[in-house]
Structure 1
Amino acid sequence: MARWKLAYHANCWGPLGGDAVGVTSISRLGYRTFGDMDRAARDIAEAGYDGIELFDGNVLDGEADGFASLRRTLGDTGLSLVAVYSGANFVFPDVLPEELHRIARAADAARALGAEHLVVGGGARRFDGTRDADYDALAAGLDRVVEIARARGLAAHYHPHLSTIVETPEEARRIFARTGIGFCPDTAHLAAAGGDPAAMVREHADRISYVHLKGWRREPFAFTPVGTGDCDNAAVIRALGDIGYAGWICNELDAWPDPADGARQSRAFVEREMAALRSR
């Protein structure tokens, strides 16, 4: 088994949210960690990771100085920017061009900073219920994301997410039957929606070229470091080995009292499981 490269998402170093101006300007409605991304990068590098993933809002902040500050942070820490995470509603035709414009800006930034992957979540659940046509609209939007990514030399991935119309294993089958985008499994979200993440990795093996590992606790609900809680990430790692996965694994944790400690815990667990896999 080839040694996988490990990255960490910077979303744990502050409250998660979006740009408030996005309420009245859809093209500005990006994800954001309200925290010090330079500090996050230093902590992630010190925890032993080789790469970092950032939200689109944090990356697009770098447009102001031509990404000079972000380049300096990456250079100082030795980290690779592996992926940029974005998202959209995708099911409302009138605002889709605005959403795709923002995703294209994020993809431009990703390319400028040497990233390999563009990850998107989304597919809005309407207040009055999901319509069958929403899956067709989501699939069409995701195919546009593939085009945006491909034009910039990036690999595009869809990330099923709680609160969207793609949470459960059946909803995942429904969307992946309609679109050619890659599948970025987030193990905690899949488990919390009632899925078996290891089984889903095996089922969609030919669609997976980027992975999010995250822990999840059922009661009280919380996301936790990889290897803790009720999500069997050891089984997921074995499944990735069984399908011959090669590429980046990004550990992730939405909130934790000590973000650097969460990063270290998650990396130590994955390293142990990788060693166990190699010794089989």
Structure 2
Amino acid sequence: MTAARRRIAANPIPYWSTAGKTREVFDEAFRDFQEIGFTAVKADVPDGMSPAEYRDWIGGYGLMPALSLFNSPFDETVDLAEEVEKAKRFAATQVALGLDRTMISSMSVPARMAEPAVGAGFDAGRLARAIDNCGTVCRVLRAEGLWPLHHSHVGGVFETEEEIVRLLDDLGPDVIGFGPDTGHLRWAGVEPAAFIRRYADRIGGIHLKDCFPDLLAAESRAGLTYRQVQRTKRLWAEPGRGVIDFAAVLAAIPAGYDGDFMIEVDEPSVASKRESHRISFEWARRTLA
């Protein structure tokens, strides 16, 4: 993908997060995205559908497949051989869609979902094992034709700045690239622009998400789980409506950046999913121009 082909893409998380990944749910999202003006959507091929069928389906809405995500806990709960086979299947689908990169992330470690964004239950051995497991999966993805980009996510084993740095520095640029999420970085106490500058030579994709200030401090959300914080609608904000300095974020991205700009608002702050995406798209069209 060249710099001239960078797209404003959408991730339909709020459509399926409670309703499920059904055809009807995705059709609603794709209709909204087409009407709003998006031209690309996170590549999320339903079970039983071939890559060619998926391309035809989203193409009917004027959409192209965009950067997807491979997710694994990467900790002691996984069978590494099974994760490797899952990675091979995932890569085959993504490459068949014409994609050359993917986000890779750790999510849903129970202790961290219960007490998010503070590195709950840190264990040095778990971190080392997760880095090794992630490295194995990254090498498999690269061998299959996909460039893996670490995607920061609250609730996973690579949650805090120290953990993300360990992962990126231990594995190195030949194994893993960088695909930041501005919102998840900020929630975990990491300044997005500074962190992007630190790993700018490895960036291949980005999720643009904003945060309200209300629940960023740990004491302000004491006793609330990840899901409960999210459901307040006072965590995630449509880009430009929260505290993230997107001018600094965009200035930190290299001029030669050739990835998509993906809008992702896991829990819209407004009542309508469509309106949330319209607000986000209009902001992106003005800001990224």
Q: For residues 99-118 of structure 1, what are the structure 2 equivalents within 5 Å?
A: 99-118=83-102
Q: Quote the Cα distance in structure 1 between the aligned partners of 2:274 and 2:99.
A: 23
Matched, 1:84 2:98: no
Query: Which runs of 5 or more structure 1 residues have no equivalent in the other structure?
Result: 18-31, 276-280
Residue number among 167, 188, 192 corresponding to 2:159 in the alignment:
167
Q: What secondary structure sits across from 1:7 in the alignment?
A: strand
Q: Which residue of 1 aligns with 2:212?
A: 217
Q: Which moved more, 1:76-85 or 1:33-42?
A: 33-42
Q: What is the correspondence of 1:14-163 to structure 2 with a 5 Å cutoff?
A: 14-16=16-18, 33=21, 36-55=25-44, 59-61=45-47, 64-67=48-51, 69-92=53-76, 95-122=79-106, 125=109, 127=111, 129-163=121-155
**What amino acid is aligned across from residue 13 of structure 2 in structure 1?**
N
**Correspondence list, 1:128-277, <5 A:** 129-179=121-171, 180-220=175-215, 221-240=234-253, 244-256=256-268, 257-275=271-289
Q: Whose relative contact order is higher, 1 or 2, with alpha carbons under 8 Å and at least 6 apart?
A: 2
Overall identity of the aligned pairs, in %: 29
- What is the CA distance between 1:121 and its match in structure 2? 1.2
Gaps of 5+ in 2: 112-119, 216-233
Q: CA RMSD in A?
A: 2.6
8 Å contact from structure 2 (residues 52, 97) kept in 1: no
Judge conservation of contact 2:87–2:141 (CA < 8 Å) in 1. Answer: no
Q: TM-score, normalized by length of structure 2?
A: 0.78
Quick check: 1:84–1:106 contact (8 Å CA) kept in 2?
Answer: no
Cα distance between partner residues in 1 of 2:18 and 2:244: 22
Matched, 1:9 2:22: no
Provide the rounded CA distance (Å) in 1 between the counterparts of 2:46 and 2:81: 18
Q: Separation in 2 of the partners of 1:111 and 1:214? A: 26
The 8 Å contact of residues 212 and 249 in structure 1, kept in 2 or not, is answered as yes
Aligned residues: 255
Shift of 1:156: 1.1
- Secondary structure of the structure 1 residue equivalent to 2:60: helix
Q: Which has the higher strand share?
A: 1
Conserved? CA contact 1:47–1:264, under 8 Å: yes
Deviations 1:179-221 (A, max 9, x none): 1311110000000111110111101111111111111113154
